[in-house]
Amino acid sequence: MRPLLAATLLALAAPHRAAASDAAPAAAPVVRQAHQERRDGGEVDPRQLQSLAQLQHGAIQDCYEEGLRGDAALHGKLLVRFTLLETGAVGDVEVAKDGLRAPGVTACIVGAVRSWSTPLRPSAPVVVELPLSFSVKRG
């Protein structure tokens, strides 16, 4: 059995209090400013956000594999919402939807995301939603 983790990335236009229902389909990442006012250099390229998620895949995978040690059938989906700050650091991190129902794994993933630092420098905070799907490949 090999654990699988699928991740896609989606950024929202609405402020931090945006509802998940405002999100565009995850198949095509869409990035818009968290604030309505646009400023030069403030846009974040969706490909850069996707690259960030791919670079950080290992830390998230480690959290999931740790959870599998306690529950070999652990699977489900999480929607992690975070704010990418002007400094490239990650601000607020929360689990917007928890279909994994594994508090230890969820806390580990939130901690991993909180520790991210990126070369991305938006001119205003950008709210990002990171859908994660966890499953074990049989065979």
Q: Domains in the chain and their CATH numbers?
A: 2-14+30-35+44-137 (3.30.1150)
- In angstroms, the Cα distances linking 104 to 3, 63, 74, 100, 108 are 17, 8, 12, 10, 6
Task: Express each pLDDT in 35-55 by its tens digit.
Answer: 323 233 446 778 888 888 888
What is the reported pTM? 0.71
**In this model, does residue 109 exceed pLDDT 50?**
yes
**In this model, does residue 115 exceed pLDDT 50?**
yes
The identity of residue 70, as a single letter, is G
For residue 56, name the pLDDT band (cuts at 50, 70, 90).
Answer: confident
The identity of residue 55, as a single letter, is L
Please report how the helices 57-70 and 46-55 are oriented relative to each other, as an axis angle in degrees rounded to 10.
40
